[in-house]
C-alpha cells in the first residue's frame, strides 16, 4: 500500500479574535485560509532475522547410500524469526502490516511448504555445487514453527491476552509460514525468536494504559479471516511474532541426482520474499 500525504485547502471568510497566529493584514479581499495537515500510516514495521548455523555441515561420500545423504543437525538452528517493531493500536488491516512469505531456491523455483502438523513443516530446497553451480539434487529440511499474538481489547478482561494464533489463509498474517486454519504453538515461536510472554504483553500494555494482557491464557486468537474484529476493530492493541527453525536431533535429507566423488562444497540457499498488504 502506498503511503500518501493528503492536504485540504478551503476558501473561507473568518473573524479573528483572541491570541492566534495570523498572516499580515491585507486590503480589500482577505484571500484563502489554508487548512491542512497530513495522514500517515503507523510507523510500526516488521523485523526479520535469518539463521546462520545451517551452512557448515561436513559429511563424507561414504555416508551416501543410493544417492541419498542423511545430514544430522546436533543443535537447535534458527531458520526464520519475525516480530513487530512496536504494537499497533486501532485497526490492523490497511496498514501494510500483513506479511505474506514466498520462498524460492537458487534458480527462482518456488518452495512450497509441506505442513505435517500445526507446528511442523518440510521444505524441499534445490542444491547446487558451489564450484560450478551445477544442480546436485534437493534437500529436505524439517522445520518446527510457531506464532504468537498479544492483544488488549478495550474493557475486555477475558480475552485480552497473549495467545496462540490461527492464521495463514490467503491474505491473512503469516501466509506461507503457518498451516492455514490451524492454531500454532506460541511457545515454539518464543523458542526461535527469543521473546517471552511478558515481553509480548508489554508491547500492548503500553498502548492501553491501565489494562493488561494475561500471560496465563490457554486459548487462541483468530487471525485467519480478514473480516474478523482482530483485523477491523479500532478498540484494541495488537502485537505479533513468529519463529521457525531446525530442532536439535533432526535430519536433513539430500537426494542427489548424480554420483559424487572427491571433494565438493554444496549450497542450498533459500530466498525469502515478504509481500505486505
Are the C-beta atoms of 126 and 135 separated by less than 8 Å?
yes
| Angle, vertex CA 201, rays to CA 199 and CA 207, nearest 5 | 115
202, β-bridge pairs: none
Q: Which residues partner with 123 through β-bridges? A: 141
Tens digits of residue pLDDT in 40-65: 767 889 999 999 999 999 999 999 99
What pLDDT does residue 17 have?
40
Distance from C-alpha of 86 to C-alpha of 32, rounded to nearest angstrom: 40
* pLDDT of 67 over the 50 cut: yes
pLDDT of 21: 64
Other Cβ atoms less than 10 A from the Cβ of 41: the count is 14
- Which residue carries 537426494 as its cell? 255
The mean per-residue pLDDT over the stretch 61-80 comes to 96
Please answer whether residues 94 and 273 qualify as being in contact, where contact means their C-beta atoms are separated by less than 8 angstroms.
Answer: no
Looking at residue 7, what is its pLDDT? 34
- Retrieve residue 191's grid coordinates: 523458542
The answer on pLDDT for 113 being more than 60 is: yes
- What does DSSP say about strands 77-84 and 88-89: parallel, antiparallel, or unpaired? unpaired
Which band of pLDDT confidence, cut at 50, 70 and 90, is reported for residue 24?
confident
Residue 32: band (very low, low, confident or very high) from pLDDT cuts 50, 70, 90: confident
> Taking a C-beta distance cutoff of 8 angstroms, is the pair 172, 224 a contact?
yes
pLDDT at 11 over 80: no
The pLDDT tens digits for 175-220 are 999 999 999 999 999 999 999 999 999 999 999 999 999 999 999 9
Q: What is the pLDDT of residues 134-174, one digit of tens each?
A: 999 999 999 999 999 999 999 999 999 999 999 999 999 99
What pairing do the DSSP bridges indicate for beta strands 220-222 and 161-166? parallel
Residue 252 makes CB contacts below 8 A (sequence gap 6+) with 57, 70, 71, 73, 139, 140, 141, 142, 246
For the segment 104-131, the average pLDDT, to the nearest whole number, is 97
- What's the start-to-end Cα distance of the chain, in Å? 6
For 91-100, the pLDDT digits (tens) are 999 999 999 9
pLDDT at residue 30, rounded to an integer:
85
**pLDDT over 70 percentage in the chain:** 91
Average pLDDT, the chain: 91
Query: Can you tell me the mean pLDDT for 62-88?
Result: 97
For residue 123, the model assigns a pLDDT of 98
Give the pLDDT mean for 102-117. Answer: 97
Hey, which residues does 119 pair with through a beta bridge? none
**Interacting residues of 21 by C-beta distance below 8 A, sequence separation 6+:** none
Closest by CA to 159, choosing from 243, 210, 222, 84, is: 222
Q: What are the domain boundaries of the chain? A: 46-276
Q: What is the pTM of this model?
A: 0.85
Identify the band that residue 1 occupies on the pLDDT scale cut at 50, 70 and 90.
very low
Amino acid at each position: 500500500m502506498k503511503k500518501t500525504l493528503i492536504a485540504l485547502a478551503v476558501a473561507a471568510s473568518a473573524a479573528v479574535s483572541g491570541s492566534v497566529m495570523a498572516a499580515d493584514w491585507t486590503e480589500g479581499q482577505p484571500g484563502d485560509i489554508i487548512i491542512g495537515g497530513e495522514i500517515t500510516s503507523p510507523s510500526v514495521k516488521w523485523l526479520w532475522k535469518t539463521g546462520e548455523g545451517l551452512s557448515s555441515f561436513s559429511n563424507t561420500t561414504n555416508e551416501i547410500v543410493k544417492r541419498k545423504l542423511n545430514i544430522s543437525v546436533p543443535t537447535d538452528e534458527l531458520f526464520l524469526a519475525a516480530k513487530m517493531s512496536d504494537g499497533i493500536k486501532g485497526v490492523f488491516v490497511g496498514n501494510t502490516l500483513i506479511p505474506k512469505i514466498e520462498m524460492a531456491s537458487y534458480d527462482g523455483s518456488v518452495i512450497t511448504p509441506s505442513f505435517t502438523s500445526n507446528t511442523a513443516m518440510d521444505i524441499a530446497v534445490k542444491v547446487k555445487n558451489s564450484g560450478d553451480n551445477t544442480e546436485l539434487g534437493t534437500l529436505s529440511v524439517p522445520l518446527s514453527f510457531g506464532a504468537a499474538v498479544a492483544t488488549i481489547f478495550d474493557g475486555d478482561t477475558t480475552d485480552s491476552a497473549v495467545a496462540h494464533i490461527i492464521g495463514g489463509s490467503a491474505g491473512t498474517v503469516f501466509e506461507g509460514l503457518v498451516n492455514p486454519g490451524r492454531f500454532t504453538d506460541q511457545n515454539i515461536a518464543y523458542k526461535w525468536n527469543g521473546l517471552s510472554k511478558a515481553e509480548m504483553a508489554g508491547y500492548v500494555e503500553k498502548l492501553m494504559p491501565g489494562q493488561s494482557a494475561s500471560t496465563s491464557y490457554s486459548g487462541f486468537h483468530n487471525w485467519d479471516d480478514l473480516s474478523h474484529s482482530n483485523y477491523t476493530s479500532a478498540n484494541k492493541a495488537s502485537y505479533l511474532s513468529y519463529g521457525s527453525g531446525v530442532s536439535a536431533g533432526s535430519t536433513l535429507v539430500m537426494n542427489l541426482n548424480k554420483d559424487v566423488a572427491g571433494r565438493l562444497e554444496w549450497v542450498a540457499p533459500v530466498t525469502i520474499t515478504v509481500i505486505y498488504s
